[in-house]
Amino acid sequence: MTTASRVPPRMLNVTEEIRHNHRIYGSSDNTAQHSTAASKSLNYANGASIQHAWEMGIYSLPKVDKWEDAVGLFGAENKFVKYTPDPRIEYANSCFEDDSYECAQLEQDPVPDSDYLPIDYDNREFPTEETYEELRISANAIPHYHDTDLYSVEIINHGVDNIYMDDWLDVRLYNKNWDEHPFTKMWLPLTEPFYVGFHARNTKRLSYDVDILIGKKILPASAIKNKQEIRKLLVFGNQY
């Protein structure tokens, strides 16, 4: 009976391949974002994979981030951005709109409007009358939120007025476990991060103009009408 001896693994040496590329493209790596793929330097691409996403912090709500850039060949075909809420996030002087309501703006010298009368107020207490309650005004009111409340994230894709680019540019939301969210709006806990992915679905360079609306609304899960917009963790299920 014969026994076969195991061949020891060989070390993979890519030195000659690297030298060959340097002889073609030069010894200095090209970090230009529009040609990282062509120059074989994708390691310099910003957020080319969700594992190495571009880090962004959330320090106050609500906020709007505007992204104007390009993605696709001959640069990286994907760009991922990770948003992480700061533990000391601020909500002061913020206004969160509820369904069917808009934020009021108080002015010392209001401009008369033909359809509305100016409001008169003082500091005295007034009882509730019929279906209305007294207005309470505070100069530095900081809203109080519970750990179970959810904040909204929404993608507004303005496009670049070019159907040959807009049709092939895809922007998606991802939860903290890298699971893709099927809608352009997502609700998630106040302390939980999320990802935004910009994807080129065609073999050419695609420009984009996208707004990311973060924390426009903060609501408990029970008050959210479309429960499908609440982020789901596929591994552990969804507790909402």
**Nearest-angstrom CA–CA distance, 196 and 176:** 11
* pTM more than 0.85: no
In DSSP notation, 1-53 reads ---PPPPPPPPP--HHHHHHHHHHH-SSPP--GGGTTTTT-GGGSTT-SGGGP
- Domain harbouring 65, CATH code: 2.60.120
Residue 131 has pLDDT above 90, yes or no: no
pLDDT in tens, 138-148: 555 556 677 78
* Total tally of structural domains belonging to the chain: 1
- State the Cα–Cα distance between residues 33 and 73, nearest whole angstrom: 10
Q: Amino acid letter at 229?
A: E
On whether residue 1 sits in a domain, the answer given is: no
Question: Residue 236 falls within a domain, yes or no?
Answer: yes
Domain of residue 142, residue span: 53-92+132-240
Each residue's pLDDT tens digit, 186-211: 999 989 999 999 999 988 899 999 99
Amino acid letter, residue 226: N
Torsions phi, psi of 110, nearest 5?
Answer: -70, 150
Q: Does residue 169 or residue 1 have the better pLDDT?
A: 169
92 has a pLDDT exceeding 80? no
When mean pLDDT is compared across 20-24, 61-65, 135-139, the lowest value belongs to 135-139
